[in-house]
Amino acid sequence: MDLTLSPDEEAFRDELRTWLETHHPGEEPKGDEEEAFAFRREWQTKLHEAGWAGVSWPKEYGGRGASLIEQAIYSAEMVRARAPSPANVLGLAMGGPTVIGHGTEEQKERFIQPILSGEEIWCQGFSEPDSGSDLASLKTKAVKDNGDWVVTGQKVWTTFAHHSKWCMLVARTDPDVPKHKGLTYFLMDMEQDAVQVRPLRQITGQAEFNELFLEEARIPDENVIGGVGNGWMVAITTLMNERSGLAFGAMAQVRRDLNDLIEVARENGLDEDPVTRQRIAQLHMEVEALRINAYRGLTGIMKTGQPGPEGSLGKWAWSDINQSLTEAAMEIRGHEAPIIDEAWTYRFLRARANSIEGGTTEILRNIIAERVLGMPKLR
Amino acid sequence: MNFDFTDDQRTIKSTAKEFLAARFKADKLRELAEGGEYDSAIWDEMRELGWAGIFIDEEFEGQGLGVVELAILMEEMGYALAPSPFFSNAAAGLLIQHAGSEDQKRKWLPGIASGEQPGTVGEIKNGSAPLVSDAEDAALIVLFDCDRASVVERSAADVQKVDTIDSTRRFASVSAEGGEPLEGDVQAGLDRIATALSAELTGLAQRTMEMAVDYAKERKQFERPIGAYQAVSHRCAQMLMEVESARALTYFAAYAADAEPEELSLAASAAKAYASDAGWRVSASALQVHGGIGFTWEHDLHFFLKRAKTDGHLFGTARQHRDRVADLAMARTAAATA
């Protein structure tokens, strides 16, 4: 075991840290959503110009070709500096890697560059009102018509749809084969009348998510990714990239938030309170276990090329931790905790989605039971 | 950056797993557990393999390896539920190695490294040590009270057998006057002992989880294996979460002991607090998966569950270690924001 960074990795970290010190854009404007998004777009342009967008992408596609460890360092440093998210989170974490993995040369040529620059924002059209955890049962259908695909259906939980140019859309192209086999992965232009976006207000009050209504939307055949009927396999790539791409940032975020929580405990005079101390200690242990398991998983991926069981546990552990951490913050703030507050209200309410988005905890437990422990399937 | 064992460490692990599985088969384990006995021939074999002194410096006739290797052995001891004085002897070695003077190390460590003059460690509460493992057959007993420790010869101590719920390990109460004080870093020894116990707890949790998973695949109710029901399979997934978290914290503490000692106190307490809870929760959850059969004396599960509970109360309970984690983690945050 050796948890030290190599000189190259240290240099990577120091270069990023120094760059962030001089280029950090300050805090994201609160309140006006449009203004906040414009701010994040500008931030992404800055990142891109300095070569700090898409660090995990291969160099030939405009990325930095960063190693897994450098990606982990990158996420941790961004959180440490409290840097805002770039505007095109889904394009960077999921869209780009999916096009790079499954796209044709023409598609790479067309789509990659504007993702990095933030010129074209991406969203993800997977979930539907009747197809959440059972994603493969989705009903949005695509029918071939004169070289185009004509798509009709409804998508939900579509983050940033209202800002997006492209949607990673999974639709049913063959209703007569088993459900996983009849799906196709498309890149759909959002700028057409047949695509209606309706903001979906969350319990936080914000509308980061949307509903998408598709009424004979048109997609040219050249925007199929990975071949007709292979949509499930391509979608899995997107979801795997989501899980691993966001893991190290999420891990660094709970560590930072735990430090904030300890400060709140001190401010409220509860740092000597035995119950509070036990709770903080438990959170510290769980955050540490998450961090160490992420590095164990990373070592496993470097060795075998495959994510190990630690990976599937990580997202579940993170959502549990973030929920109990924000609950602890409310308890520590006591009587005044329900008063809307810039630091904690959003975090507390937003955390409820953690155990649902990107695979519910129940589905993750099924995956762990069936694929890691080899337990019999219910279905 | 590489969070994995070396090839040598992997060999130690697989050798230990095979050796212990062959020596402590179910019948043998039951015989020893019911009799409250050890098998001295198996202990002799362990000593010949060099296990007793695995982490002790070569100049004191040990193997010169580290706490990582000790933790590897301890995890396998837990997995096999090996009844043996191995842990007690290692605990004495760790304390003397870190708190003893050069003379004291020269005097006692070789006997511990060979296992010929085995030691143990007990915690003093109100003047005497109520719960000391393997004190009856030890040659020397290290008694500690907070950060003070001293070594007494077995012959100079009053040792009385104590019955605990864990019949796979032998306990006694010890009272003694005086002894030879250890003037060095007692806490450094105790942190390593806590790490070793966390490894044993991780092995116990791993084994009871496997017992539960195997049983849930076989046992049928309502015409299907009970493991197909999410009430059962999700319980098993929870076990894996706790096993892997205990393992992560334990390996990190062992790594810290050998490579980043300034991280050790926080890491060791985090590991011991988490593994103490996990050892109990996973084995208790495994009992629930087994249903009625799990509550019977005939089933082996209870021996594991009782060792896990007892380990959780040795060298600091989960509550005590969490309190220390709170201290250390909060101090770190204060330092970072100052």
Domains annotated for chain A, with CATH where assigned, are: 7-117 (1.10.540.10), 122-230 (2.40.110.10), 234-372 (1.20.140.10)
Q: Are residues B84 and B109 in the same domain?
A: yes
Task: Report the C-alpha dihedral over residues B176, B181, B184, B188, rounded to 10 degrees.
Answer: 0
Closest approach of A135 to chain B, Cα-based (Å): 19
Closest partner CB to B325 (pick from A284, A298, A300)? A284
**Residue A153's beta-bridge partner residues?**
A214
- Band (pLDDT 50/70/90 cuts) for residue A309 is low
Q: Are residues B307 and B198 in the same domain?
A: yes
What are the strands, taking DSSP E only, across chain B? 119-123, 129-133, 140-145, 148-153, 158-162, 171-175, 180-182, 220-221, 224-225
Contact A206, A196 (CB under 8 A): no
> What CATH number has the domain bearing residue B158?
1.10.540.10
Q: Indicate the helix (H) or strand (E) that contains B10.
A: helix B7-23
Q: How far is A356 from chain B (nearest CA, A)?
A: 16
- Tell me: do B195 and B302 sit in the same domain: yes
Closest CA to A37 of A46, A45, A28: A28
* CB-based contact B337 A4, cutoff 8 Å: no
Q: Which of these three, B185, B219, B241, is where a domain ends? A: B185
Buried b (16+ CB within 10 A) or exposed e, B43-68: beebbeebbbbbbbeeebbbbebbbb
Phi first, then psi: give them for residue A21, nearest 5 degrees: -60, -40
**pLDDT tens track for B30-62:** 999 999 999 999 999 999 999 999 999 999 999
Q: Are B193 and B315 in contact (CB under 8 A)?
A: yes
pLDDT of res. A294: 87
Kindly state whether residues B163 and B124 are assigned to the same domain: yes
The average confidence (pLDDT) of chain B is 97
Number of compact structural domains in chain B: 2
> Above 80 in pLDDT, residue A241?
no
pLDDT under 50 in chain B at which residues?
A: none
Nearest CA to CA, how far is A267 from chain B (Å)? 12
Q: What's the pLDDT at A110? A: 95
Average pLDDT estimate for A366-376: 93
Residues of B with Cβ-Cβ distance to A299 under 8 angstroms: 1-4
Per-residue model confidence (pLDDT) at position A238: 78
Would you state the pLDDT for residue A307? Answer: 63
User: What one-character-per-residue DSSP string does A299-365 give?
Assistant: HHHHHHSS--HHHHHHHHHHHHHHHHHHHHHHHHHGGGTTS--TTTHHHHHHGGGTTTTTS-HHHHH
Of B158, B185, B212, which closes a domain?
Answer: B185
How do residues A116-145 score in pLDDT, each as one tens digit?
999 999 999 999 999 999 999 999 999 999
What are the DSSP calls for A26-66, one per residue? -SPPPS-HHHHHHHHHHHHHHHHHTT-SSTTS-GGGTS---
CB contact under 8 A, A259 and B333: yes
Interface touch B227/A376, C-beta < 8 Å = yes
pLDDT value at residue B192: 98
Radius of gyration of chain A (CA): 21
Contact across the interface for A362 and B234, Cβ inside 8 Å: yes
Chain A residues within 8 A of B5 when measuring between CB atoms: 1
The domain boundary, picked from B159, B185, B211, lies at B185
CB-CB under 8 Å, A376 with B217: yes
CA distance to A372, B26, B267, per residue, from A368 (Å):
5, 29, 27
Task: Give the span between the Cα atoms of A93 and A76, in whole angstroms.
Answer: 15
Q: What percent of chain B has pLDDT over 70?
A: 99
> Is B225 in the A-facing interface, judged by CB distances under 8 Å?
yes
- Same domain? B137 vs B239: no
Helix (H) or strand (E) holding B15: helix B7-23
Taking Cα atoms as reference points, which of B167, B309, B121, B287 lies closest to residue B215? B287
* Of residues A271, A274, A299, nearest to B4 (C-beta): A299
Examine the domain organization and report whether B131 and B200 are in the same domain: no
pLDDT of residue B333: 85
ipTM of the complex: 0.96
Chain A interface includes B251 (CB < 8 A): yes
pLDDT higher than 80, residue A235:
yes
DSSP B123: E
Distance of CA A234 to the CA centre of its chain: 16
In a domain, B65, yes or no: yes
Chain A residues with CB under 8 Å of B248 CB are 288-289, 292-293, 296
Structural domain contains residue B84:
yes
The rounded Cα B167 to chain-centroid distance in angstroms is 15
Q: What angle do CA B52, B53, B56 make, to 5 degrees?
A: 150
Which of B1, B65, B240 has the highest number of chain A CBs within 10 A, making it the mutation to test binding with A? B1
Cβ-Cβ contacts under 8 Å for A336 (sequence gap 6 or more):
none
CA dist., res. A212 & res. A164, Å (int): 12
Structural domain that includes position B52:
7-185
CB A289 within 8 A of CB B245: yes
Asked whether the CA dihedral B99, B104, B108, B110 is positive or negative, the reply is positive
Chain B: give the shortest CA distance to residue A284, in Å: 7
Q: Residue B67 falls within a domain, yes or no?
A: yes
Structure-token pair, residue A128: 């539907």
Residues B198 and B152 in one domain: no
Q: Is residue B181 located within the same domain as residue B33?
A: yes
Identify the top-confidence range among A23-32, A185-194, A198-207, A301-310: A185-194
For residue A201, with 0-12 CB atoms within 10 Å meaning exposed, 13-18 middle and 19 or more buried, which class applies?
Answer: exposed
Q: Are strands B119-123 and B140-145 parallel, antiparallel or unpaired?
A: parallel
Q: Residue B66: name the closest of A298, A6, A2 by CA.
A: A2
**Res B137: pLDDT:** 96
The crossing angle, in degrees rounded to 10, of helices B86-99 and B102-114 is 160
CB contact under 8 A, B1 and A3: yes
**Is there a contact between B234 and A295 if contact means CB atoms under 8 Å apart?**
no
* Nearest-by-Cβ selection for A369 from B234, B322, B326: B234
By DSSP bridging, strand B119-123 and strand B129-133 are unpaired
Q: What is the pLDDT of residue A312?
A: 76
Chain A contact for B256 (CB, 8 A cutoff):
no
Q: How confident is the model at residue A274 (pLDDT cuts 50, 70, 90)?
A: very high
Q: Please report whether residue B1 resides in a domain.
A: no
**Nearest residue on chain B to A80, alpha-carbon basis:** B336
Is the distance from CB of A100 to CB of A112 less than 8 angstroms?
yes
Clarify whether residues B102 and B245 are in a common domain.
no
CB pair distance less than 8 Å for B252 and A292: yes
Nearest to A234 by CA among A312, A282, A294, A181: A181
A66-117: per-residue pLDDT in tens? 988 898 899 989 998 999 999 999 999 889 999 999 999 999 999 999 999 9
Statement to judge: residues B176 and B192 lie in one domain: no
pLDDT band at residue A310, thresholds of 50, 70 and 90?
low
Residue A247 amino acid letter: A
* CB neighbour class for B223 (10 Å; exposed up to 12, middle 13-18, buried from 19): exposed
Phi, psi (5° rounding) for residue B168? -90, -5
pLDDT number for residue A245: 64
Confidence of residue A308 (pLDDT cuts 50, 70, 90): low
Same domain for B97 and B225?
no
Structure tokens at B212: 């539960």
Instruction: State the CATH number of the domain containing residue B264.
Output: 1.20.140.10
A366 contact residues in B (CB cutoff 8 A)? 230, 233-234, 237
| Same domain assignment for residues B153 and B31 | yes
For residue B2, tell me if it sits in a domain.
no
* Percent composition of chain A: helix, strand, coil (DSSP 3-state, to 5): 55, 15, 30
Give DSSP secondary structure letters for B255-315: HHHHH-GGGHHHHHHHHHHHHHHHHHHHHHHHHHHHGGGGGSSSSTHHHHHHHHHHHHTSS
Catalytic residue among A208, A242, A286, A310: A242
Contact between B234 and A365 using a beta-carbon 8 Å cutoff = yes
Known catalytic residue at A242: yes
**Side-chain-side CA neighbours of residue B312 (13 Å):** 25
Q: Which of A284, A300, A368 comes nearest B240 by C-beta?
A: A368
Mark yes or no for CB contact A362/B230 under 8 Å: yes
